[in-house]
Structures are given as structure tokens and as C-alpha cells.
Amino acid sequence: MEDRVSEPSLVLVFSGKRKSGKDYVTELIQQRLGPDVCCILRLSGPLKEQYAQEHGLDLDQLMGPGPYKEQYRADMIHWGESRRRQDPGFFCRLASRGACQPVWVGERGSCCCDVILQTAELCSVIGQLVSDARRLSDLQWFQAEFPQQTQSVRVQSSEKTRSQRGWSFTAGVDDAESECGLDNGVEFDWIVINEADAPSLDEQLRPILQLTEEAASTSSVNQS
């Protein structure tokens, strides 16, 4: 793959509805492992960057949480779907370009790596998290590219809990493939329930963290 300087030991592909807390969960994992070991890949990042370039928009505001992004969200979704139909792996390749940690954590739909490493000299990391997978094609791309390393994680929260976090249903967004593409027909390797009355995140994430630590350890042994 273009600009990728090493193979990951583990790729965790996260998905979940808006306000499910998937960003929080992936950032928590990265904090536990450290940025030298774990990289967060956001698929929506390259999408927003490309969309901003083609439409003359402010990328910083488009990447932020404010109303600027919301006024373009529906059109950006349609534009992104059109690009994916032409090339299903387009945004996945952009997101993983330059990533060299052994553990990757990814989500459905963001821009690039939280830690984007463009050269081998900067490379000391072990794992990558894909924090925003939104469509079956996203998950399938990573499974095809890294069949032994990829595991899928679903973060779930009820509509009531998501509403308490600021979510409200938006037609053309919450009923689009970008939100519903992984709702059915996928057997996730892990399911994390992000609710107040569920087991603590520490307890639920313990086996996943153990998996990432084992992957990091294996990578260190192989590099020594």
C-alpha cells in the first residue's frame, strides 16, 4: 500500500451510532496503550479533507463539532457515497497511509490518523484503531487487507442515552447508509455496551486491552 511503512499487528475496527461514545472508547484505549503503540485511524478525516478541497470549505470548521459541519453533513454523506461506489477502499487507503503503529484503532467515517506518521523515521508505534467504520465496505476492506489482524468492535448505546448526550434524529443522516450500513448482517468480534447500567468500560475493555498488549508484545519481539 502506498506510503505504509509497516504492517500492523492488530487492527480494531470500531463502529457505532452517533453519540454512542465510540470516539471516547477508542481514545480511552489509546490512552491506556500510549501513542507509540496505538494509532487511531479516522476514516471521516480523509473524506472531510477531500470534500473541503473540492468545495472550497474551511477544513478546520468541517472537522470541528460546531454547526458549520452540520449544514454540510447531508451533502457530504451523499458525496462520500458516490466516491465509495467508484472505489470502495478510497478513504480506507487514505486513512491508513503513513500509519506504522502495531495496533490500529479505527472508527467508521473520519479523516486520517490521530497520529499521522508520514516517514519511517517517526515510526515507533505498534497498533492501530479504526474508530469510525460506517459501511460494510469499510470493514470488508480492512478484513481483506489484514485478514489475520482485523477484529471488529461495536459500541452500542440506547436512543435515550444518545439523546442525553445531545443526539437528535436527522432525516437523511441517521437513516442513511453512513449510520445504518453496519446495523444488520455483521457478526462483531466484540460488543461494548456504553450505558450507565452496563458493566464498567474498564471491565468490558479488559479482554480487548489484553489483546492489544499481546499484539504489541509480539511486534516488539519480531522487531528485536
Per-residue model confidence as pLDDT tens digits over 19-77: 999 989 999 988 988 888 888 888 888 889 999 999 999 999 998 878 999 899 889 98
Answer yes or no: is 184 a known binding residue.
no
Answer yes or no: is 97 a known binding residue.
no
Answer yes or no: is 110 a known binding residue.
no
Is 5 a domain residue? no
Answer yes or no: is 66 a known binding residue.
no
Phi, psi of 113 (to 5 degrees): -70, 140
What are 134-161's pLDDT values in tens digits?
888 889 988 998 899 999 999 999 999 9
Answer yes or no: is 18 a known binding residue.
yes
Evaluate if residue 219 carries a pLDDT over 70.
no
Average pLDDT of the residues in 192-210: 96
**Residue (of 96, 106, 98, 112) closest to 50 by Cα position:** 112
| pLDDT band at residue 117 using 50, 70 and 90 as cut-offs | very low
Is 1 a domain residue? no
Answer yes or no: is 183 a known binding residue.
no
Is 204 a domain residue? yes
Answer yes or no: is 48 a known binding residue.
no
How far is Cα 174 from Cα 157, in angstroms, rounded to an integer? 14
Contacts of 129 (CB under 8 A, 6+ apart): 11, 12, 14, 26, 29, 30, 38, 39, 40, 41, 103, 104, 105, 106, 107
Domain holding 94: CATH number? 3.40.50.300
Q: State the residue range of the domain holding 158.
A: 10-223
Evaluate if residue 204 carries a pLDDT over 90.
yes
pLDDT at 183: 93
pLDDT at 224: 53
Is 26 a domain residue? yes
Domain count, the chain: 1
Share of the chain above pLDDT 70, in %: 81
Answer yes or no: is 220 a known binding residue.
no
Answer yes or no: is 222 a known binding residue.
no
Is 95 a domain residue? yes
Is 184 a domain residue? yes
| pLDDT band at residue 122 using 50, 70 and 90 as cut-offs | very low
Please answer whether residues 95 and 2 qualify as being in contact, where contact means their C-beta atoms are separated by less than 8 angstroms: no
Is 63 a domain residue? yes
